[in-house]
Amino acid sequence: MNLPNSKKICGWTGKFLKVDLSTGRFESCDTMRYAEKYIGGRGIAARIAYEEISRGLGAFSDDNLIIIMTGPLTGTAAPYSGRTILCGLSAQGYPKEWYTRSSFGGHWGPELKYAGWDGIVIRGKAKHPVYLNVEDDRVELLDARSLAGLGIFDTQKKIMAQHGAHTKVFAIGPTGEKLCRIAIIATETESASGQGGFGAVMGSKQLKAIAVKGSGSVRIANPERFGKITRAIAKESHASHGWPHTPRLDPEKIEKYGERFQACTQGCHARCYDARYYTRVKCPISGKLGAGQVDCVATLFPGLKGSFYDWELGFEAGFELAQMCNDLGLNHWELLMGMMPWLRELARSGKMRKINGYPIDLNDNQFWAMVIRGIADRDGQCDALAEGTVRAAEQLGVGEEFIRRFYPAWGYAGHWDGRGDQANHIFYPFWIVSALQWAMDTRDPISSEHGYVQNVMNWSPCRSPEEGLTWEQITELGKKVYGSPDSTDPKSHYGGKAYPASWHMNRSVIKDSVPADDQIFPRIFSRHTEDHYARIDDMEGPDFELHMFNSATGFSLTRQGFDLLAERIVNVERLIHVKLHDRSRSDDETIIPYFEQPERFVNPFVGRPMALEAEKFGAVLDEFYAIRGWSRESGTPTRETLQRLGL
């Protein structure tokens, strides 16, 4: 690898901050010790975790780390690059408090870079509630007892009033303070580190918030090249969520609620399907006029008539419930995709008809409000719900037979799996790749691996009959990218699925390390080229992140060199799971019973619901391990693989 002159660090700031809450000590550490081999973000976090998290710790142990890392593109003009990664032992993880990650957008990460820091590593526990304030090289722990019990919105406002309107604040709400395992950490109005329960980890350390304000900038190694390619990539990235078409606002909601598009991360150039801001909504639960953002799965709060999520709360109540969760710090995905459908099954089966004396009724906005507030207060039976649905079923001693309908593994509700998640349309054989991704992870994997499932399904004639591609075109593009037509052929079966799962595993860590927005990258399908393969001049779509990385940092990595760094990160994470949690093939196989349930959506070329066949999936696992250089018996990286990767 050709490295830039160390005296002129570009992309990174060159240092990250270590904070010990127990002693109040701060330490500046060298980012470049890690950057050469681990890219940034998720990669650097993994190496730090491997070195510093000890076996036997739990999520709420004082010595558990909260590792918050930006990447070399954070704070630059790179499109969709405002992401920040957070890693550590997860409070939500089940049956083990796995080491895992969560990411968030907004402007907090870029502001940290402008303050001169690539990341923050936090250990220990403060004696009373505190918040960390970072203003360039000035770092201090300040008393947060006056902020205790406040929601995330008011916490941000009070800290900004103290330190200036340009201060960016990353904070927890009451759910985090009370160690709810499904608590988030958030900044601004919607950008959250949602999955993982890291709000509870931060609460266990008595850390209420992290405020950052910077006066610097990010140096770019090749500004002319960087500017040219980032503008071109922004233009090519015409839509989000793997869709071929561009969304539009609802004229009625524009008039009534002041609806507008709202980017959830710095540098966003696409109109997003799920990111909207509303300036005036009459909230029926509180009776107040509200404003706020609705992103991603929060669009399901009102209910979706004619679907599995057919509760009838209406837009105004759904909007208010979403804002209530954002302020209190509660994970939307857990609530909407897992907990509420599970409670509905309890009521329908007669196994439990009330929670805290309230009838379980998903058409009643007061019931929803009671559950949300009850979780935040850890009140009555909602105290068990605050542990997450999987643990709640154990504690309440009811409904464990329904958990498998909605939870594939690791304590996380379904996502692009064709079963529990019925908001995203996917059918056989494409969920075989999803099953592999779930099998290899410690959390919901699709949040950083949308590239396969969204591209294939949303560009297909089943989802986009007018603006999408034919199955023949998708199959040909699958052959080009993954080396086999079976990788994207709807008439295929188990063959050709191990390689795209492995390929996207690498792409996942690249996106989380650079970082770049998962809903946009990697660029594969396009409506701007004759063959529908994303490219700009000499740049192929899957290499867009590489070209931005090289021109920002001054590195001169090839595609093979970049993939090698990604492979190293994947293997370090696997080593963490083996070292801390005794991860093995038997753990990977725990997802099989979930996928043995019949699919919810039917492939038109098959004509009947399909289910996973364990023996055939076992052969796909064998192939996957062989591609990765892991033992087929144990699922552990072989000595030869580790030596090849310099580990």
Residue 7 is predicted with a pLDDT of 53
Beta strands in 314-438 (DSSP E): 354-355, 358-359
Task: Please check the confidence at residue 142 and state whether its pLDDT lies above 70.
Answer: yes
State pTM to two decimals.
0.96
Q: Do you know the residue count of the chain?
A: 647
pLDDT tens, position by position, 17-48: 999 999 999 999 999 999 999 999 999 999 99
Assigned CATH for 248-406:
1.10.569.10
Residue 633 identity (one-letter amino acid)? E
Q: What is the mean pLDDT of residues 4-27?
A: 88
pLDDT in tens, 154-194: 999 999 999 999 999 999 999 999 999 999 999 998 888 99
**What is the residue-wise DSSP string for 165-176?**
TT-EEEE--HHH
Determine the pLDDT at residue 95.
96
Where in the chain are the domains?
15-213, 248-406, 431-536+582-644
What average pLDDT does the segment 547-551 reach? Answer: 97
Q: 13 and 118 in contact (C-beta within 8 Å)?
A: yes
Query: Which residue from 289, 174, 330, 234 is spatially nearest to 544, judged by alpha carbons?
Result: 234
Tell me, yes or no, if the two domains 15-213 and 248-406 fold the same way. Answer: no
Percent of the chain at pLDDT > 70 equals: 97
Percent of the chain with pLDDT over 90: 86
Residue 6 confidence (pLDDT) above 70: no
Q: State the chain's mean pLDDT as an integer.
A: 94
pLDDT the model gives residue 250: 86
How confident is the model at residue 77, as a pLDDT? 93
- Lowest average pLDDT, out of 72-76, 85-89, 211-215, 256-260, goes to 256-260
Dihedral over alpha carbons 390, 393, 394, 399 (to 10 degrees): -120
pLDDT of the residue at 4 = 45
Structure tokens belonging to residue 270: 């696409």
How confident is the model over 247-259, as pLDDT tens digits? 788 889 888 888 7
| pLDDT at residue number 273 | 65
Q: How does residue 296 score in pLDDT terms, banded at 50, 70 and 90?
A: confident
CA 188/CA 173 separation, integer angstroms = 13
- In this structure, what token pair is assigned to residue 286? 């509180």
Q: Which two tokens stand for residue 477?
A: 């593009």
Instruction: Please state which of the ranges 157-166, 423-432, 517-526 shows the lowest mean pLDDT.
Output: 517-526
Whole-number pLDDT of residue 241: 65
CA distance 544 to 562: 12
* Positive or negative: CA dihedral 324, 326, 327, 328: positive
Q: Which has more confidence, 201 or 4?
A: 201
**Can you identify the CATH homologous superfamily of domain 15-213?**
Aldehyde ferredoxin oxidoreductase, N-terminal domain (3.60.9.10)
Give the pLDDT score at 506: 97
Q: What is d(CA 283, CA 290) in angstroms, rounded to the nearest whole number?
A: 6
Q: Does residue 231 have a pLDDT over 90?
A: yes
For the segment 104-128, what is each residue's pLDDT rounded down to a tens digit?
Answer: 999 999 999 999 999 999 999 999 9
pLDDT band at 80 (very low <50, low <70, confident <90, very high): confident
Between 490 and 466, name the one with better pLDDT: 490
Residue-wise DSSP of 513-581: HTT--TTT-S--B-SSSTT-B-EETTEEGGGHHHHHHHHHH-----HHHHHHHHHHHHHHHHHHHHHHH
